[in-house]
Amino acid sequence: MTDDFTDSANPALLPAGLSDLLPPDAAREAALVEAMMAVFASHGYERVKPPLLEFEEGLLTGSGAALADQTFRLMDPVSQRMMGLRADTTPQVARIAATRLREVRRPLRLSYAGQVLRVRGTQIAPGRQLPQLGVELIGVDSAEADAEVAALGVEALGAVGIPGLAIDITLPAMAPALLDAAGLEGPARSRLARALDRKDAAEVARLAAEVGPPAIFLTGLLAAAGPADGALAALRAAPLPEGPRRIADNAAEVVAALRRRLPALRITLDPVEFRGFRYHTGIAFTLYGPGRTGELGRGGRYMSGEEAATGLSLYPDAALRAAPPPAAPARVFLPAGHDPEAAAALRRAGRVTVAALSPADDARALGCTHELRGGTLFELAGAADAPATGADDAPVRGADTAPGMKE
Amino acid sequence: MTDDFTDSANPALLPAGLSDLLPPDAAREAALVEAMMAVFASHGYERVKPPLLEFEEGLLTGSGAALADQTFRLMDPVSQRMMGLRADTTPQVARIAATRLREVRRPLRLSYAGQVLRVRGTQIAPGRQLPQLGVELIGVDSAEADAEVAALGVEALGAVGIPGLAIDITLPAMAPALLDAAGLEGPARSRLARALDRKDAAEVARLAAEVGPPAIFLTGLLAAAGPADGALAALRAAPLPEGPRRIADNAAEVVAALRRRLPALRITLDPVEFRGFRYHTGIAFTLYGPGRTGELGRGGRYMSGEEAATGLSLYPDAALRAAPPPAAPARVFLPAGHDPEAAAALRRAGRVTVAALSPADDARALGCTHELRGGTLFELAGAADAPATGADDAPVRGADTAPGMKE
């Protein structure tokens, strides 16, 4: 059946950036989400489910402020107050932690999964409804906590079969701290920040040389981006002032804590990158799969209301592109008059059954790979209409567990 | 930990009818949804995931027209057209079936799970965001199809442990067909319809007697509501004109087809009830659990665009109240320096682990029931701090599968 679900959509049917997920992708995405949520749960992260809509004050405070322009707003006819459709779940989890779960002992480990909506897509990410799942580890400020959350992201993506995962750690506070230490303000600071943002090494070098130390370290740190060991060595070697030194030492601690958990993980570190991590107060990280699958998730340290926290978001739509497709289960046609017990046994054994509702129903046209006839499974592949061969194809009538079969 | 998640919400934090689902309910609801979706999938229903927002024309046609007043609307800044936040998923599935899946062989079996949003709650159902899952069986008009879908609802609810399920079948077209056959129009018809809607038997009898046959059968059919056998006997006995007779015969066929699938199911039939089934063209049904759990789902025959269809919606929030709570898994505290392989083995065996992040972390305060010490599980229940007894408590260090334990 899968092959018949071709996309012949009229693009005018749905607003830009909003789309239908069809078979088999919708089921695969849901399975990926629940498999990753199960990994979070196994590490003690407990699920919360905030509503899709809430008052905009709640959504747009704290880490949510950065998404104000991206949040759909609507008037609540009941309260006559403005509501927002969430563009991110983190501010909602922060609200829950600070109110209903205020008295629960810290560290508080929470997880969530659901949809977020955005007013406009970007050229790289045109979607306006994005599935998202993640965790928040609230009330603890340590490298161990950062490493637990980052490792959890790697474990969750690995659990759904995504190979070759890598993590890129950035220190969004480093460049501002160096510019602070250099006393750089006004237009000169903006120019240097923009050059860093563009990764324009020549321009950074030129502007930093004008300012002198410690801004001048930006040049070396920009060049040090790459495998974590080299970048950490560059950070150790630089005679950093106190603020940037603390940030560098923390990065080394997080990398060490992550290595203890996942010795084989590929870790890169970009000490002066800060793009896209607007509200992070410590390390931030991005998770990548192999090749061109793009970002699979991101996270880092931030303030959850008044509390120190580390969070992680994974993107199931990206995971869907990166994960190997599962084998399609056998789809067994049940003709009129079939044995319901045998059919139930097949379903218990993981097969899909499709019951005939009229004599016109055709097994192959309905995408079936097998047919149940008198308690025996027949394979329908190709033109062959003979019973599938092999010891696996014993009659299933009345069997408590259906036998396996050659597929 | 569960006991600490008390609801100390400030009701002003969230709009009326919108709420947070907290641990352990959010995880339980998600597990119920996926378990019921798995039942649908095992019967060949393939999952689709339409977006939460789409152009209002798409949402509010067909079966969606009835929900126009309940649909949040927003302007799409990209297209400058009005969008609606779905109040029901059925119109979206009808759109998908009629467009992107138009060429797929019928009967087309689709399933969905997601959130729906409504502008206002009702006194009985104050929620404005409701989880919903369901199936649509499209392109077939038969009693067998109706019975398959109704039986699927019973099987899905049974699969999550809800005992004592019952189905109430109604024939929303019967009363209008009798009033048509009686040639009853205008205010007299409205009065009789309202009396039926209120189940005011005396008033129905009085008004129907004034009209004469066949409207007069309404009196007997109203009284016949109850166990399906009695109601079907009353329908057989009534000398119904052609239209109502076809509806009655179809009801008998659906009940028979359902009995073949689920011989033990408690079936009631209310031949002249039509409240709440505004767009149904054949039988409609409501699924109930034991006692006061309320409706667990409903469904029935309708038109999916131009195609005959039967659908079913289940309400996970109601299922959450009706299903027995699962046993909480053991929650094992992992002190600093624990063996990561032993911890991973515990998780593979279904235990939850909670890792210490600092010496201040306290196993009991973090809701743990057990602690891993040097490869051995210790039970923390009560004041006892001794290793749990029994053969189950063998060391787990390096074990591929963690042993069971006394809980």
Residues of chain B with C-beta less than 8 angstroms from the C-beta of A85: 74, 85
Peptide bond into B214 cis (omega under 30): yes
**Nearest chain B CA: its distance from A7 CA (Å):** 6
Interface test with B, best of A20, A29, A79 (most B CBs within 10 A): A20
pLDDT at A127 over 60: yes
What average pLDDT does this structure show over B299-321?
A: 95
Q: What is the pLDDT of residue A236?
A: 95
Q: From A106, A132, A96, select the one nearest A44 (Cα to Cα).
A: A106
Helices (H), A72-140: 90-98
Extended beta strands in A143-216, E state:
166-170
Confidence band (pLDDT; 50, 70, 90) for A275? low
Confidence band (pLDDT; 50, 70, 90) for B10? low
Q: What is the pLDDT of residue B322?
A: 93
Cβ <8 Å between A18 and B51: yes
Confidence band (pLDDT; 50, 70, 90) for B374? confident
Average pLDDT in chain A: 88
Is B49 or A400 the better-scoring residue by pLDDT? B49
User: Above pLDDT 70, what percent of chain A?
Assistant: 89
Residues of chain A with C-beta less than 8 angstroms from the C-beta of B76: 15
**Nearest chain A CA: its distance from B190 CA (Å):** 31
Structure tokens at B364: 């009991």
State the Cα–Cα distance between residues A341 and A330, nearest whole angstrom. 18
A374-388, A391-405, B150-164: least confident range: A391-405
Confidence band (pLDDT; 50, 70, 90) for A276? low
**Nearest chain B CA: its distance from A18 CA (Å):** 6
What average pLDDT does this structure show over B246-269?
A: 97
pLDDT at B68 over 60: yes
Q: Could you give the count of Cα atoms lying within 13 Å of A291 in the half-sphere of its Cβ?
A: 8
- What chain B residue is nearest to A348 in terms of C-alpha separation? B42
Q: What is the pLDDT of residue A213?
A: 79
Burial B131-141 (b: 16+ CB within 10 A, else e): bbbbbbbbbbb
Contact B313, B298 (CB under 8 A): yes
Calculate the CA dihedral of residues B62, B65, B66, B68 and round it to 10 degrees.
150
Confidence band (pLDDT; 50, 70, 90) for B124? confident
Q: For B51, which of A19, A99, A367 is closest by C-beta distance? A: A19
- Taking only the tens place, the pLDDT of each residue in B275-287 is 666 678 899 999 9
- What chain B residue is nearest to A19 in terms of C-alpha separation? B51
Burial B269-286 (b: 16+ CB within 10 A, else e): bbbbbbeebebbbbbbbb
**Non-local CB neighbours of B291 within 8 Å, separated by 6+ positions:** none
- Taking only the tens place, the pLDDT of each residue in A23-37 is 999 999 999 999 999
Structure tokens at B140: 């077939």
Confidence band (pLDDT; 50, 70, 90) for B390? very low
The ipTM of this complex is 0.90
- What chain A residue is nearest to B159 in terms of C-alpha separation? A348
Residues of chain A with C-beta less than 8 angstroms from the C-beta of B367: 105
**Nearest chain A CA: its distance from B336 CA (Å):** 10
Burial B69-93 (b: 16+ CB within 10 A, else e): ebbbebebeeeeeebbbbbbbbbbb
- What chain B residue is nearest to A48 in terms of C-alpha separation? B22
Q: Compute the count of residue pairs across chains A and B with CB atoms less than 8 Å apart.
A: 258
What average pLDDT does this structure show over A48-66?
A: 90
Cβ <8 Å between B30 and A34: yes
Cβ <8 Å between A44 and B353: yes
pLDDT at A158 over 90: yes
**Nearest chain B CA: its distance from A227 CA (Å):** 25
What average pLDDT does this structure show over B334-359?
A: 95
Q: What is the pLDDT of residue A217?
A: 86
Cβ <8 Å between B99 and A8: yes
Cβ <8 Å between B365 and A105: yes
Cβ <8 Å between B1 and A78: no
State the Cα–Cα distance between residues B115 and B136, nearest whole angstrom. 17
Is A60 or A265 the better-scoring residue by pLDDT? A265
Residues of chain A with C-beta less than 8 angstroms from the C-beta of B109: 354
Confidence band (pLDDT; 50, 70, 90) for B371? very high
Q: What is the pLDDT of residue B211?
A: 85
Residues of chain B with C-beta less than 8 angstroms from the C-beta of A101: 4-5, 22
Is A291 or B24 the better-scoring residue by pLDDT? B24
Start-to-end Cα distance in chain A: 16
Q: What is the pLDDT of residue A70?
A: 93
Residues of chain B with C-beta less than 8 angstroms from the C-beta of A355: 43-44, 148
Q: Could you give the count of Cα atoms lying within 13 Å of B264 in the half-sphere of its Cβ?
A: 6
Interface test with A, best of B1, B43, B46 (most A CBs within 10 A): B46
Average pLDDT in chain B: 88
Q: From B378, B336, B341, B328, select the one nearest B354 (Cα to Cα).
A: B336
Cβ <8 Å between B140 and A104: no
Q: What is the pLDDT of residue A382?
A: 61
Is B294 or B51 the better-scoring residue by pLDDT? B51
Interface test with B, best of A29, A104, A364 (most B CBs within 10 A): A104
Q: Which residues pair with A303 in a beta bridge?
A: A308
pLDDT at A405 over 70: no
**Nearest chain A CA: its distance from B353 CA (Å):** 5
pLDDT at A383 over 60: no
Residues of chain A with C-beta less than 8 angstroms from the C-beta of B261: 340
Q: From A63, A51, A65, A58, select the one nearest A116 (Cα to Cα).
A: A51
Cβ <8 Å between B24 and A8: no
Cβ <8 Å between A6 and B95: no
B130 DSSP assignment: E
Q: What is the pLDDT of residue A57?
A: 87
Residues of chain B with C-beta less than 8 angstroms from the C-beta of A91: none
Residues of chain B with C-beta less than 8 angstroms from the C-beta of A100: 5-9, 20, 22
| Burial of A391 (C-beta count, 10 Å sphere; 0-12/13-18/19+) | exposed
Q: For A1, which of B34, B104, B351 is closest by C-beta distance? A: B104
User: Above pLDDT 90, what percent of chain B?
Assistant: 71
Cβ <8 Å between B78 and A54: no
Residues of chain B with C-beta less than 8 angstroms from the C-beta of A117: 52-53
Confidence band (pLDDT; 50, 70, 90) for B213? confident
State the Cα–Cα distance between residues B310 and B97, nearest whole angstrom. 13
- What chain B residue is nearest to A70 in terms of C-alpha separation? B77
Q: Which residues pair with B54 in a beta bridge?
A: B84
**Nearest chain B CA: its distance from A48 CA (Å):** 5
